[in-house]
A and B are shown apart, each in its own frame.
Chain A
Amino acid sequence: MYLHDFYSRFTLDESLAEVTGFNPYYLSIESGLEDKLMVNGARLINLASNNYLGLAADDRVKKAAVEAVQKYGASLCGTPIATGYIDLYKRLEGKLSAFVGLEETMILPSCYQANNGLFSAIAGAQDLIIVDRYVHSSLIQGIKAAGCKIRPFLHNNLEHLEGILQRSTGYRQIFVVTESVFSTEGSVAPFQEIVQLCQKYNALPVIDDSHGIGVLGKSGRGILEEKGIEGYQGIYTASLGKAIAASGGMISGKSALIKHLKYYCPHLVYSTALIPAALAGIEAVLDIIDTEFGLLKKRLTSYQQIIYESLLEGGFSVVQAKTPINSIKSGSKENTFIITKKLFEKGILTTPFIEPAVPQGEGRVRLIAGANLSEDTIAEAAAVLKEMGRL
C-alpha cells in the first residue's frame, strides 16, 4: 500500500496515560490567563503557566496589542530583513538592549529558534562548546547543529567546568553555555563565577535567561543584574514568552556580532517577523516592569513561599527554591503523572516533567504562582496542597 511503511513508523506510546488514566498534554484551554483558567469546561487554579509577573492578560498589555493590530494589522507578512521590520520592531530592539544592559539586540519568532540558530552562525568544526548538562533542548539542538566538539559539564559544577577548560587547548574559540534559571526545578547558575572562568581561559560565555528576564535582579532585568555582572562580553538569549508575557526570543550582545547575525542567521533572516501585537505587548510589559516591578516581585515571592510551605506541610518532597519555581520531586514518570492528575482533580493545574526533559527517575511537578493570582486563589491552592499529602 502507498507509503504504508513510512506512516507505520509513527505510533505514539500512550501506555503511561493509559496506566495512570491521565494525559496532561495538549489539554484544551478555553480562556486566557485570568485568575482561574478554563480547562475542559472546568475552572482551575493555574500554577502551570510561565506568566511570572501575571501580565499576559493585563488590561494595559491587551490595549497596547490591540492598538498595534489596529495600526499595523495582524502581520507584516515579511521577514525582518524584508518588509517585517516596522518602526515598533526597531524601537523594541533598542528598549530590550537597554533593559538588559547590552549593546544590541535582535528579535526572533521564539527563543527556541534563537537558540537553534545562534550556534551554527558563530561556531564551527574548529571550536569547542562546553555546556551545562541540564540545559534546555533548544540549546542542545542548536549546539549539535554547529558541528563542533561538544563537552557537557556537570550541572552548575564550577570545578568540573574549570577542569574541562584547563584541559581544552587547540580550539579556535571555546564557548561556555548555560541557563540562568533551570526551569524544571529553579536552580540558578553561578554565572558570575562562570564569567570569571571564561575570562581566565579566554572562553566566550553564552547565557539563556528565559526564566530570569523579568524575574531576577532588583529591577527585573534578569541574571546580569542579579549577579552584578557589568560590561558583559558574552552572548545573551531569552524568551519573551514567560515573564515578558508575549512571544519571541531575543539575542543580545556586542554590536558587531548582532549586526552580523542580522544578515547571517538564517533563523532570523528567512522567518516571518514577530507580529505587531506581540511587539507592542512586549513594549507595554517593559514599561510596567519599569514602574511596578517591586510590587509584582514581592507578590510573586510571597506566593512562592506560601506554596512551598504548603507542599512541605502536605508531605511532598520539594526542591529548595531560590526562584518563583516550586518543584515536587516526584520520582518515576508514573508517579509524576499521578501527582499531576490528583492535583488536576482537586482543581490545580501544574506541569509534569518526565524523561527526556529530566534524567530518568527524577520526575518533577512544577508549580508557578503568577503575580496575577488573587490572594484568595493562593489560599485555596495552599489548602488543597496541605490536604493532599494526608490523603
Chain B
Amino acid sequence: MTLEQRVIKTLKDNLEKSPEISLESRLLEDLLVDSLDRMMLLSGLEDEFSITIAEEDFAEVATVSDIVRKLKARLSD
C-alpha cells in the first residue's frame, strides 16, 4: 500500500460510518471532522505509522493531502 492509501484507510477506520475519502477531501467541510474526530484520527495515524504526533503540528491541516504532506515530511526526518 502507498502512503496515501494507508492514510485514507486509517481515516476511514477512525471515522463514524466509514465515509468515502479521497486526497482532496476536506476534513471539516466534507468529512465533518470535529475536535474529537481529529483526536481520534491523529491517534489512528500514530498507531499506523508508529510515531507520536503533537496536535499543534497538525493544527492547520485542512485536507487529506495536507496530512499526507505532513506525514511525508515527518517520516523523512
Contact = CB atoms under 8 A, between A and B. Distances in A.
Interface of A: 133, 140, 150-155, 160, 163-164, 167, 355-356, 359-361
B32 interface: yes
Interface size on B, as a range, is 10 to 19
Contact of A151 (B13, B16, B39): B39
B47 interface: yes
Contacts of A150: 39
B27 interface: no
Given A154-B14, A154-B16, A359-B16, A133 B36 contact: yes
A361 B13 CA distance: 20
Contacts of B15: 154
Contacts, number: 34
Contacts of B60: none
Interface of B: 13-16, 32, 34, 36-37, 39-40, 43, 47
B15 to A, nearest CB: 8
Given A133-B16, A359-B34, 17 more contacts: A133-B36, A133-B37, A133-B40, A150-B39, A151-B39, A151-B40, A151-B43, A152-B37, A152-B43, A154-B16, A160-B13, A164-B43, A167-B47, A355-B34, A359-B16, A359-B32, A360-B32
Contact of B39 (A152, A360, A361): A152
Contacts of A133: 16, 36-37, 40
Contacts of B16: 133, 154-155, 359
Contacts of B36: 133, 140, 152
Contacts of B43: 151-152, 164
* 3 closest A-B pairs by CB: A152-B40, A360-B32, A152-B36
